[in-house]
Amino acid sequence: MEFPLLIFSLDRELFAGKAKSISLPGADGRIQILPDHAQLISLLQEGDVVIEDENGKKQTLPIAGGVAEVREEKVVALVHF
């Protein structure tokens, strides 16, 4: 199973597609999001965002912080460097 994932910075779209999982550096520790995750909003701290796309390929994106929202239909992260 996959879920729609959108990651944006202030000036561009960094990722738009389907993902099997995403691991985020939450303010209180790492958060792993899988399909059908409970809804939440979390502040992000400095660290690596690790995305496993629908093909199983992993991408790592270093960030300085941001915010992530998990909804029933998609996951959206707004990040800065």
- Please report, for the chain, the start and end positions of each structural domain, with discontinuous segments joined by +: 3-80
pLDDT category, 53, cuts 50, 70, 90?
very high
Average pLDDT over residues 4-28: 96
- Predicted local distance difference test score (pLDDT) of residue 67: 98
Whether the pTM exceeds 0.75: the reply is yes
Per-residue model confidence as pLDDT tens digits over 65-74 = 999 999 989 9
For the segment(s) 3-80, the CATH number from 3.40.50.1100, 3.40.50.1370, 3.40.50.2300, 2.60.15.10 is: 2.60.15.10
- The per-residue pLDDT of the chain, averaged, comes to 96
Contacts of 24 (CB under 8 A, 6+ apart): 30, 31, 32, 33, 42, 44, 47, 49, 68, 77
